[in-house]
Amino acid sequence: MIWLDDYLQKWKKTLLVVSHDQDFLNSVCQEIIHLDDKKLVVYKGNYDTFKEQEAVKLKQQIKAWEKQEKRLKELKAKGLTKENAEKAQLKSKAREPGARAKKAEAAAAASGGLESGESQVELMKRPRDYTVTFSFPEVTIISPPIMEVRDVNFRYGPDLPWLFRGVNFGLDMASRVCIVGPNGSGKSTIIKIITGEVNPPEGEVRRNPRLRVGIYNQHFVDRLPMDEDPVSYLRRLFNEESYQSVRNKLGKYGLEGHAHTIPIRDLSGGQKARVVFVELSFLAPHLLFLDEPTNNLDIESIDALCDALKHFNGGVVMVSHDARLIETVNCQLWVVEDQNVEPWPSGFKGYREHLLRKLEAQMDIIIAGGGERQERQEKKTK
């Protein structure tokens, strides 16, 4: 991600990207095309600029809608029926500046130049701001250490190489950790060792017996009972919750009402992810373990997750490539390399610069190697 971000900033050709990574969009994009209410709206600038402009636009729409509703109430108070009040409001809308052009378009529609009804003046619908709210309940503090990894050596089989050797660390409810490293380095394995999904052949993992752990990863999403609907599933696990309280929570987490009572197998990846996050919220864990939690979430949901984790009073250990999530939650980086897990001393920006320098050095070696091969080929040709 860091390499791609850096490369595309210097790239001089056209780029069209669909992404939920806000830092990436801010770095590489100079225009944002927003798909909203079946229309495409173009905004100049990066994603942060778009958010500011969209917020202003929404306020203006709400103000215009409130003005329209106030006028409708006044007309109804004068004895007009709802239908006649709306007709009167539409007539006044038709006299607004710019309405002459709209009337010309309507005439064109009547003569077959446009689809019927394409540009007719209509009453404004109430502007809807898509909001998602994640939350994790406050939990009782457990005295540290609540989890210890001692002298752990790990490999997946006796004939396979060691993935980790001599790993030692502790976690408590103040921990904010993001485990980083190349693909295949063992980031997810470390979480599996801590949570007990796999047992190390050497060393031990100690856990406080009062500790409640919440785990999110793609594996857990796929384990959901596909024949049950989200409400039935969550009420079976948390029978103290009412039908309505479960539906309210699912709605806050961005799951549409129609998806509350259909089989989980019919949900998308993002919808299933929301069911798991609601489950974690009801569980009220002391420690949250999140493996790539933003993969199936849209930008608004990632914002909600950032906010929820920022205010959560328990510990957080995550594997993520989302720079905004890492920095918002104020995570300390733990780097997986050389069969160990070590804290990175200089923060995310320092780690980013370190990786870019490392990548540049690797590219220099590759380029130099290519030059040497070309020289050898030229000598053979001569």
What was the pLDDT predicted at 171? 94
Tens-digit pLDDT profile for residues 111-133: 333 343 444 457 878 877 778 99
State the residue for tokens 């320092």. Answer: 350
What was the pLDDT predicted at 111? 37
Domain that holds residue 219: 147-354
Co-location of 342 and 216 in the same domain: yes
Domain membership flag for residue 161: yes
Alpha helices in the chain (DSSP H): 2-10, 22-28, 47-77, 82-94, 99-110, 187-195, 218-222, 230-237, 243-252, 269-283, 299-311, 323-328, 347-381
Taking the CA atoms of residue 248, residue 252, residue 256 and residue 260 in that order, the dihedral angle to the nearest 10 degrees is -40
Question: Predicted confidence band at 79 (pLDDT cuts at 50, 70, 90)?
Answer: confident
Burial class (CB in 10 A: 0-12, 13-18, 19+), 34: middle
Q: What does DSSP assign to residue 123? A: P
Tens-digit pLDDT profile for residues 18-66: 998 899 999 999 999 998 888 899 999 999 999 999 989 989 988 988 8
Co-location of 86 and 215 in the same domain: no
Co-location of 246 and 99 in the same domain: no
Quote the CA–CA distance of 246 and 239 in Å, as a whole number. 10
Co-location of 218 and 302 in the same domain: yes
At residue 229, φ and ψ (nearest 5 deg) are -90, 160
Co-location of 265 and 321 in the same domain: yes
Quote the CA–CA distance of 55 and 43 in Å, as a whole number. 12
Question: How many CA atoms lie within 13 Å of 97's alpha carbon, on the beta-carbon side?
Answer: 0
* pTM summary value: 0.78
Co-location of 66 and 195 in the same domain: no
Beta strands 287-291; 213-216: pairing state: parallel
Residue 320's nearest CA partner among 218, 224, 223 is 218
Residue 233 CA, distance from chain mean position: 24
Quote the CA–CA distance of 367 and 39 in Å, as a whole number. 47
Coil, strand or helix: which one is 117? Answer: coil
Coil, strand or helix: which one is 287? Answer: strand
Co-location of 98 and 181 in the same domain: no
Co-location of 62 and 163 in the same domain: no
Q: Confirm if 181 and 131 have CB atoms less than 8 A apart.
A: no
Tens-digit pLDDT profile for residues 255-310: 999 999 999 999 999 999 999 999 999 999 999 999 999 988 989 999 999 999 99
In this structure, what CATH number is given to the domain that contains residue 251? 3.40.50.300
Q: What does DSSP assign to residue 79? A: T
State the residue for tokens 């989980």. Answer: 264
Distances in whole angstroms, Cα of residue 108 to Cα of each of 39, 53, 123, 129: 21, 33, 21, 34
